[in-house]
């Protein structure tokens, strides 16, 4: 299957969902440093997938997918901070963490599929 636009990439779709949920949960946080960091990191996941795809080179796409995966790790790390500081309840933490882990797995799978089609 050939992907024709980045919006068709399932990892991008999940990253978009993650960005929305992160912003819904932390967009009004009084801790502006925390808010700006986690919102920026989540946005970086979806934007790196899109930017890499638009470059039309598998090598560059892989590079940007690795950036996206790194940003996903940053969001997960920030979620631990949010939980530790009681910015979100446990059930919300688990929901966001699951979505973040799913997104990261999808990105990894995409990278593996690109490696398989060298």
pLDDT of the chain, 118 residues: tens digit per residue:
688 999 999 999 999 999 999 999 999 999 999 999 999 999 999 999 999 999 989 999 999 999 999 999 999 999 999 999 999 999 999 999 999 999 999 999 999 999 987 6
| Vertex 40: Cα angle to 95 and 104 (nearest 5) | 45
Report the predicted TM-score, pTM, of the whole model to 2 decimal places.
0.94
Q: What integer pLDDT is reported at residue 118 of this predicted model? A: 64
Q: What integer pLDDT is reported at residue 103 of this predicted model? A: 98
Q: What is the dihedral of CA 58, 60, 65, 70, to 10 degrees?
A: 150
**What are the structural domains, with CATH classification, of the chain?**
6-116 (1.20.1440.60)
Q: What integer pLDDT is reported at residue 2 of this predicted model? A: 81
């Amino acid at each position: 299957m050939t992907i024709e636009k980045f919006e068709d990439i399932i990892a991008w779709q999940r990253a978009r969902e993650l960005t929305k949920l992160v912003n819904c949960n932390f967009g009004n946080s009084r801790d502006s440093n925390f808010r700006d960091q986690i919102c920026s990191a989540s946005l970086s996941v979806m934007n790196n997938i899109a930017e890499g795809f638009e470059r039309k080179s598998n090598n560059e796409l892989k590079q940007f997918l690795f950036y996206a995966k790194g940003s996903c790790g940053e969001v997960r790390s920030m979620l631990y901070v949010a939980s530790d500081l009681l910015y979100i309840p446990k059930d919300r933490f688990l929901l966001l963490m699951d979505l973040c882990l799913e997104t990261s797995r999808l990105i990894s799978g995409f990278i593996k599929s690109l490696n398989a089609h060298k």
